[in-house]
Amino acid sequence: MAGSRRAAGPAAAAGVGPGRARAPRDAGPRLDGRVAKAVAVSTAPALELRDLAFAYPGGRMVLSQISAVVPPQTRLAVIGPSGAGKSTLLMHLNGLLPQTPVADPRDCTVWIQGEPVVQSRLRTVRQTVGFVFQDPDDQLFAATVEEDIAFGPKQLGIPREETARRVTACLEAVGLPDARRMHPAQLSYGERKRICLAGVLACEPQILVLDEPSSNLDPRSRKQLAAILRGLTATLVIATHDLDLVLDLCDRVLLLDHGRIQADGDPERLLSDPLLMDRHGLEVPWRLRPR
């Protein structure tokens, strides 16, 4: 899916599409010091999936009968073997992949904060749901880090002074305050991942979706990323093979395999079940194994 992700580009990741959008009345998570604070604006579930199914053109079903209700401020991990449908599921959450058109919006299969994810609402959905891609080079494009982070707020019509404030706050939040004038290529892989996160946080989404955020990170970079995510109070949806990250960060797990939800529940309880894990090509993390 690298090609389609790159085509979706920074605008989709930043939560905006073509054209100019107005700034939302409530901008969602505010960056205060080194962490983002989410603003509760709805009593509806952060997201709801209602029997979601999906197949790529000419291909097999990738997702089938996916149903889940996720309350605000949940830290949800989506786990499963390669090819289980994790990334495909995530790309439905802000409309990067289209749903089957429905005559009645009430029949929509993906809902964000009580509203259906339909074509006419994609701009609003993408302001609410920020998406951080697995490969930072699918997301970074500008000549400087500052320009990359400022891109999303500018597209949302945020005033220049507020955009500058967000850039500074987000660089502080991800621990890279001195990277403002640097070209992204001058940064390490882990630093580029953090800049991608900063660019999405600058749009202040209320739901943050991350695809394999800890992949290819060294232990230090992984710890830095986990600390940043732990400081957020926005709803998190994280697709990952890093089960230690799940235990460190998440309060709920969806286990996908063969395009279906195979288990849904407490991370420690599910990840410590050797039969469940083995059945779906996973291993119990070392810290949960009997000694």
Q: What is the pLDDT of residue 165?
A: 97
- To the nearest 10°, report the CA torsion of 133, 138, 144, 145: 10
Average pLDDT over residues 144-172: 96
Per-residue pLDDT band for 21 (boundaries 50, 70, 90) equals very low
In the chain, what are the domains? 2-18+43-286 (3.40.50.300)
Residue 93 in this model has a pLDDT that exceeds 70: yes
State the pTM of this model: 0.85
Distance, in Å, from the CA atom of 267 to the CA atom of 255, rounded to the nearest integer, reads: 10
3-state SS assignment for residue 213: coil
Whether the per-residue pLDDT at 53 is higher than 50: the answer is yes
Tokens of 127: 């302001």
Q: What's residue 119's pLDDT?
A: 87
Q: Each residue of 187-209: pLDDT tens digit?
A: 999 999 999 999 999 999 999 99
Query: What's the pLDDT tens digit per position in 240-283?
Result: 999 999 999 999 999 999 999 999 999 999 999 999 999 999 99
As a whole number of angstroms, the distance between CA 241 and CA 256 comes to: 12
Q: pLDDT at position 9, please?
A: 57
Task: Match 């500052």 to its residue by tokens.
Answer: 146
What pLDDT score was predicted for residue 58?
A: 84
- CA distance from start to end of the chain: 41
- The structure tokens listed for 23 are 């700034």
Residue 163, SS3 per DSSP: helix
Q: Is 31 exposed, middle or buried (0-12, 13-18, 19+ CB in 10 A)?
A: buried
**C-beta separation of 170 from 153 below 8 A:** no
Query: 43: exposed, middle or buried (C-beta count within 10 Å: 0-12, 13-18, 19+)?
Result: exposed
- Percent of the chain exceeding pLDDT 70 equals 86
Per the prediction, the chain carries an average pLDDT of: 87
Render pLDDT for 225-244 as a digit per residue (tens, 0 to 9): 999 999 998 999 999 999 99
Q: Is the dihedral of CA 193, 250, 45, 96 positive or negative?
A: positive
pLDDT tens-digit readout, 175-189:
999 999 999 999 999
Radius of gyration of the chain (CA): 18
Whole-angstrom Cα distance, residue 41 to residue 200?
A: 19
| Structure-block tokens of residue 150 | 């400022």
Q: Is the pLDDT of residue 37 over 80?
A: no
* pLDDT tens for each residue of 94-140: 999 977 777 788 889 999 999 999 888 998 999 999 999 999 999 99
- Residue 82 reports pLDDT greater than 50: yes
- In Å, the largest CA–CA distance within the chain is 58
Distance between CA atoms of residues 103 and 76, nearest Å? 31
Token readout for 287 is: 């810290």
Q: Can you tell me which residue has the tokens 């507020």?
A: 162
Coil, helix or strand for 108? Answer: coil
